[in-house]
Structure 1
Amino acid sequence: MSLVPPGITRVVFTVDIESYSRRLHLEQIRAQERLLRVVEHAFDNAGTEWFSRQDGGDSMLLVLRADIEQTRVVPRLLTGLREALEIDNRGRDASGRLRLRAALGEGTVHVAPTGFAGGQVIEVCRFLNSGPLKAALRASPERDLVTAVTDHIYQEIVRHGYPGLDPSGFREMLVDIPDKGFSARAWIDAPVPDPPAPAAERTGAPAPAPAGVPQKGPAAAGSPAGRERRRAPKLDVAMRSVEGLFIVSELGHNAEERHADHPPADHASDHHLADGQASGHRDAGSGRHHAADPGGRDGLGGEPADVLDDALEDLDDDYGDEEGDDAGAGDGDGSWDGWE
């Protein structure tokens, strides 16, 4: 088992160039040279040297020496960086300016085989590349540097107002990166704009349903589940109608049996109807032809099976109409994906 490198408590400082990848190759080389110069000037201004450095092309991660006076070195380090950027960018247009994000903290650091290890290293690097810090630099085009410090650095150094630090210029911000399992409070020395509102809030449109959750309301009206919800009441009404037809039909048969046993003398016209002398009629709604009811129950006569067939045929016609209405309500090709 290899020996564990010692853990040392140090100030950790990191910087990164804004929009580095947009530069041409030769411009990237010159940007790295300029970055090194401004960082060296900042350490000269602070009167110290770094203990160790890890380079990342457009960024640098530096561990400071142990024998420093933090209340003097930290303010001078940031002041020297701002001064060096001002000198370096003098006379350059917007595309040529060197603009930096910086982050600073203190904690346990291990010098590992390929770089640094430790929670404080992770924290300052997460701050450096966080959305709030990037947004703060974009929202301050007149500035060439924005800095985030950990809550520990703010409470122990910044808020006490040591020369070179203005605590009123810092804003507390929660840096939350769920996919990295990271969440910590940072203090940023520039205004941080509010995040943009979701598209649904800007347009007033309803937010899309999460994956796997059925939509509700008009958007889901043509989906298979939506059609079944609309058909359920119709099916219920149809079944109730069929039940009623059976009941009326049974009552009619009983009445016919009673009439056969005791025929009334003054109902000759009913006998003419029973003999099939009544004319048929056409249903105006469906266009289907119905024979007049031999038992004098217009529209309710016939065998129960015939009544059930007619009711189901009506219901099937309704379903067919809905299928025609719903065609093309999905993705524009007549299909329906059903879910978001």
Structure 2
Amino acid sequence: MTALQATPPHHRVILLVDVEGSTARTNAAKAALRCALYSLIEECLIKSGIREEWRDPFIDRGDGILVLIHPVDHVPKTLLLTQVIPTLETLLCERGHSLRLRVVLHAGEVHYDMRGCFGESLDIAFRLLDSVEFKQRFRRSKAPLMLVVSEDIHRAVVRHGYDGIDPQAFVRGVYVAVAGQMCVGWVCGPAPCAAEPVTTSD
């Protein structure tokens, strides 16, 4: 494959995690933060039954991680909502982490070339993550984690109320434009930990 060539589209579940307030930290603090985040996400996926061979290697985002999960029968999209997100929230609370995480869940086609991955589905996920509405909602919250799912995930999974998923917990509240089209995100904010962390700014 040359640098100008790309693979055909591959379907992936897109899990995007970002740490709030990382730009306000020193470089030494950021190094510790990154170590804690990688350890946390790896443990969360393992505990949720998502083995390493069913996902791409983590893609570094500086103060976040992009996880691309393969379409295997062992990892239905419902698993992300009923196992991965609750497990991540539990780990954040149990370990007393100072991390507060914005999380995006989407799914779609992803291309790969010599430099990495790309595609409109990733554009949508990143726009949802960085949306002003999502950041503002999170700042007003004291929860350790807040999730936004794409319209595709909401329509295909959330609204059907599969076992362990409460559609009423999701509120349409994020709007982003991608390729001239309006994309909607549905926000779900888990309950705060018993020891609530202090809200920080981005």
TM-score range (shorter-chain normalised) is 0.7 to 0.9
Which of 52, 58, 65 aligns to 1:53? It is 58
Q: Is the 8 A contact 1:102 1:146 kept in 2?
A: yes
Look at both structures and tell me which one has the larger radius of gyration over its CA atoms. Answer: 1
Moved more, 57-66 or 108-117: 108-117
Partner of residue 156, structure 1? 156
Contact 2:15 2:106 in 1 (8 A): yes
Counterpart in the other structure of 1:35? 37
Residue of structure 2 equivalent to 1:22: 24
Find the residue that maps to 1:42 and give its secondary structure.
helix
Per the alignment, in what secondary structure is the counterpart of residue 52 of structure 1?
Answer: coil
- Counterpart of 2:195 in structure 1 is none
Cα gap change, 1:107/1:177 in structure 2, threshold over 3 Å: closer, same or farther?
A: closer
Which structure 1 residue ranges, 4+ long, deviate > 3 Å from structure 2? none
Partner of 2:78: 71
Which moves more between the two structures, 63-72 or 120-129? 63-72
2:22 and 2:50 map into 1 onto residues whose CA distance is 28
**Cα RMSD after superposing both structures:** 2.2
SS of the residue 1:6 aligns to: coil
**Greater helix percent: which structure?**
1
Identify unmatched segments of 5+ residues in structure 1.
Answer: 91-96, 192-340
1:171·1:190 contact (CA, 8 Å) conserved in 2?
no
Question: Matches of 2:121 and 2:49 in 1, distance apart?
Answer: 24
Q: Is the 8 A contact 2:19 2:99 kept in 1?
A: yes
Asked if the contact 1:111/1:117 (under 8 Å) is kept, the reply is yes
SS in 2 for 1:168: helix
In structure 2, give the amino acid aligned to 1:38. L
Specify the alignment match of 2:127 in structure 1.
Answer: 126
Question: What is the identity, as a one-letter code, of the residue corresponding to 1:190?
Answer: G
For 2:167, the aligned partner's letter is P
- Give 1:181 shift: 5.1
Distance 1:181 1:57 in 2: 28
Equivalents in 2 of 1:103, 1:125: separation in Å? 8
TM-score (norm 1): 0.50
The structure whose residues are more often strand, as a share, is: 2
SS at match of 1:44: helix
Tell me the number of residue pairs that the alignment of Structure 1 and Structure 2 aligns. 183
- Report what 1:6 is aligned to: 8
The question of whether the paired residues in 2 share the 8 Å contact of 1:174 and 1:183 is answered with no
* TM-fit CA distance, 1:110: 1.0
Secondary structure, aligned partner of 1:77: helix
Contact 2:15 2:68 in 1 (8 A): yes
Where 1:89 maps in the other structure, the secondary structure is: coil
The separation in 2 between residues aligned to 1:88 and 1:164, in whole angstroms, is 24
Query: 1:157 corresponds to which letter in structure 2?
Result: V
Residues 4-55 of structure 1, C-alpha deviations (whole Å, 9 max, x = no match):
3121111011000000011112111111011112211221132113223210
State the 1:173 CA deviation: 2.3
Q: Distance in 2 between matches of 1:176 and 1:151?
A: 11
Higher relative contact order (CA 8 A, sep 6+): 2
Which amino acid in structure 2 is aligned with residue 104 of structure 1? L
Alpha-carbon separation, structure 2, partners of 1:3 and 1:24: 39
Residue identity (%): 26
Q: How far is 1:113 from its partner?
A: 2.4
